[in-house]
Amino acid sequence: MDVLVIHLVNALLYASVLFLIAGGLSLIYGVMRIVNMAHGNLYAFGAYVTAWAIGSVAGGAPTVLLLVLLPVGALAAAVLGAVLEPTLLRPFYRRAEEYQLLVTFGLLMILEDLLRFIWGPYPLSASEVFENFGSLTIGDSLYPTYNFLVIGVGIVAAIFLWGVIYKTRFGVVLRATSQNMRMASALGVNVNRVYIQAFTLGCFMAGLGGAIIVPGQSAVLGMGIDAVVLAFIVVVVGGLGSLEGALVGALIVGVVREAGITWFPEIELAVLYLIAAIVLLVRPAGLFGRP
């Protein structure tokens, strides 16, 4: 019983981080119709920046200070996104989809090495935060308290996004642009501004995912490339461009991953990719996608 609870919490932990990454990816696709292959690198960037920020304050700093530093990675990713969209992506909106994929793939390669250039080839950790939180007991076992914070952030982010998209003026503009960019533009929406805002928000989410995970597991090279493939699975399952889809997809992938690691570790990843393939066969647009 307790074991099941722990597995469930672990699944939620994965799901929270995945939702942040995949939600950002999906948001960007929904509004801009662009799939950013380098999205995982923004997640990695967030992780590195946060780990670096926390590592740079002397040991023994109060946990509160460390927590304040936590979101730095998310902000850094957002800034990076705000710079990248107008400079690198904007010239490609009128070009074929293949070129958009290619340019973001080039970006992926560049960002991957930039991380190595700035922080070197070794893992960077921020485990101090993780340890400061200690652990609590579930049944007979100890479980890290910090993980609950990650889940909490995931939940808050989901609610926050829902609010932004369905309850604010900005959300109305965002949805209008995503449904019909030309029409929105004709109605006076500044599409360029919406694009940069959406892209920045998407990158912020990815960065936040990296920032909150890094106390629990170190930032390493290649983490972004692995993450973006998982995010693809989430959005494929949930439906590209749908935030509800990203949420449900993240939960499914989180649960399957946790089950896989526990009961069928050899084929854990294979099962995930197969689920994505099956969902696409049955529902080509994903569970929540518009066909």
Partner 1 sequence: MSTPAVTASANAREAGSVRTVLRWAVPVAVLLLVVPWIVPPYTAILLTYGLVMAIGALGFNLLLGYTGLLSFGHSAYFGVGAYVVALMVKYLGVGSMELFLFGAIIGSVIVTAVFGWVCVRYTRIFFSILTLALSQVLWSLAFKFFWVTGGTDGLRVPTPSLLVGLVTGQGDKTDFMSHAYYHYVLVVFFAAVALMWVIVNSPFGKALQAIRDNETRAEFVGVQIWRYRFVAFLVSGVFTGLAGALWVPLNGLTTPDIIHWSFSGEIVFMTVLGGFRSFAGPIVGAVVFNYLKTYAVGYTVYWQLLLGAVLVALVLSLPTGIVGTAGRLAARWKKVS
Which residues lie near partner 1 (CB under 8 A)? 35, 88, 91-92, 95, 97-99, 101-103, 105-114, 116-117, 225, 229, 232-233, 236, 240, 265-270, 273-274, 276-277, 280-281, 284
Residue 201 is encoded by which pair of tokens? 């928000």
Q: How far is the CB of 56 from partner 1 (least distance, A)?
A: 24
Q: How far is the CB of 137 from partner 1 (least distance, A)?
A: 33
Of 44 and 173, the one with the shorter C-beta distance to partner 1 is: 44
- Closest by CA position to 152, among listed 2, 250, 12, 6: 12
Q: Collapse the DSSP code of 1 into the 3-class scheme (helix H, G, I; strand E, B; otherwise coil) and give the result.
A: coil
Spatial neighbors of 48 by CB under 8 A, at least 6 apart, are 73, 115, 118, 119, 124, 210, 214, 219
> 């960037």: which residue's tokens?
45
Residue 108 is encoded by which pair of tokens? 């992926």
Of 32 and 173, the one with the shorter C-beta distance to partner 1 is: 32
Q: How far is the CB of 152 from partner 1 (least distance, A)?
A: 30
- Cβ distance 224 to 48 under 8 Å? no
Q: How far is the CB of 57 from partner 1 (least distance, A)?
A: 29
- Cβ distance 250 to 234 under 8 Å? yes
